[in-house]
Amino acid sequence: MDSYITAIGTAIPQHGFSQMQIASFMAEALQLDAPNRRKLQALYRLTRIDRRHSVLPDYGASPGEYTFFPNTPDLEPFPTVGARMERYRKDALPLAVAAVQDLYRTRHPSGFTHLITVSCTGMYAPGLDIDLIEALQLPTTVQRTAINFMGCYGAFNALKTADAFVRADPSARVLIVCLELCTIHFQKKPDDDHLLSNALFADGAAAVLVESEPHPEKPGPSFRLRTFFCDLLPEGKSDMGWIINDHGFEMTLTSEVPTVIRQGIGKTLSRLLERSGLAIEDITYYAMHPGGRKILEVIEQQLGIDPAENRFAYEVLRQYGNMSSATVLFVLKEIGNHLLREPGAGHILSCAFGPGLTLESMILEIVPAKPPVEKTAIKHLELGFRGLKD
């Protein structure tokens, strides 16, 4: 029994800012002098991010107009974990519901049997899963699974879990919701790790439906979950991390991450392809997690592909930044939108990275949507007339 992604929905908060607006906020918050402001602006320009979104309006506000951070020159007293989790609880549910509503535009099944929630930027209990059941009016018998604190590769574990549910029970309909509010965890520290993470991360949500049939009659393709492969690169364990501290969740993201990925990505993807019985020539599209410009460039070098083949990841990075676990699902939706315009079959290779250093990868098979009956009949008539004419 196979499993298929039959619909993807996405949502972003209403507050959107240009990358240079956010750079100005950061320069003020860190109280940088003129030379360091210029360095920060250069870093932000190099990210290839145009715009990011946040549940907080503060990143586009002038000092003195903040609603979450204190209106003091040094932002003190800096928000505590409690204040940040209160904001998470307030803003997580509406954004998650918006992603599911976007999914409904593609496919609205009669009911879900399982709900998987994914997040590394907040938690509470009763949690987002129960809030979603109430908000979406789902049956109270829906089986719930929470995947927390795994970072950017969390969606892969959700998809693997959904795949197992569907293979065990072909009647299962699994709803996955990845919800990340990365921007509530801004850290007021001038070291390189925090400067880099503050330049990349954003808020967003994605919802995915996984079922045992592709439903080719719906608009757009379905994606068969064909193969998964995971590996660890322990030498990069200290280069990417995510800990809870007194003033929020703190990200460690060193400049060595692309180097570590370069050392392991080729072997990981070779084993993924071997397990699938495919070669790199069989891959039609790439859905790479856009963890940052340098990471995407390293992947291209190791796979021997050009940036145009990786364009969907760059487009998501440009429009939204890095939304942690939700981001790769935005990339898959971009590919699905492309296939609506230019239908076709083939395979998608996807991967993401996180603390450990973890490499998650998968291959999806594209199942094209079935053309409407009317168009199919007209096409057959046209072919018949041509045959008579010949």
Positions marked catalytic:
152
* Strand partners for 243: 250
Cα-based angle 311, 299, 209 (whole degrees, multiple of 5): 60
Assigned token pair, 69: 């951070």
Is residue 114 within 8 A of residue 204, CB to CB? The reply is: no
| Greatest pairwise CA separation for the chain in angstroms | 83
Backbone angles phi and psi of 53, in degrees to 5: -125, 150
Is residue 287 within 8 A of residue 312, CB to CB? The reply is: yes
Residue position matching structure tokens 């290779």: 349
The span from the CA of 221 to the CA of 339, in Å, is 7
The span from the CA of 277 to the CA of 347, in Å, is 12
Assigned token pair, 166: 């569907």
The span from the CA of 251 to the CA of 292, in Å, is 14
Total Cβ atoms within 10 A of residue 33 = 9
Assigned token pair, 33: 């002098």
